[in-house]
Structure 1
């Protein structure tokens, strides 16, 4: 079964659905029931572009493909300096895109989803305004 993270641009930026899913995963509650789709709302297109820049997507793919035991191992996998990767990983964790599990003295980056589905609205459409 594919687990999907839905991402949308939404100025209201409510992350409660995502946080509920992460809490259920932490408690081990998602094995018995099919997880509901989780949505991450990003404030604006600029923030979306920063979060999903190519270097961060490369990190997400490396985590999914190799399941590194630490941020240092992740840095080796993507051939980047650990301090830069740590900064990117912390940003991704702040948005709930990855979790950092304590693994001895290291932190192990993990993801709970298999794919990301993105909804980007083009323009600001209001139902009360007719097109010109």
Structure 2
């Protein structure tokens, strides 16, 4: 492995805006959900991301510590929003071995469909992060 690869850090998932994020406990269900999102919502690979394990935790970087001063400042500003508490929950879910699906959303109606699609695959803690709004179109039954 060369030095550049050894020191590469994935970019931090800095903002959730215009994305839907859902937690899945089973990686196979997550893969099936990704397939359905590609087919039913015509999403491209670059519109979808699966966060798993340590690499997922590093990409999420709840505190911003892994990505420097600007990342820490961004996370401190997010303390004023729902994103901050959600990022904390996502980090805990990753630490438990669960998987996050992060999907780009073009419009709110699409987010509603995507929420139900993810729920059908067993997803929970599903949220759409629109401009200046956080929505849960299919709230968790236990919530």
Give the TM-score normalised by the residue count of structure 2. 0.27
> Which structure exhibits the higher relative contact order, with contacts defined as CA atoms closer than 8 Å and separated by 6 or more residues?
2
Instruction: Name whichever structure is richer in helix by fraction.
Output: 2
Larger Rg: 1
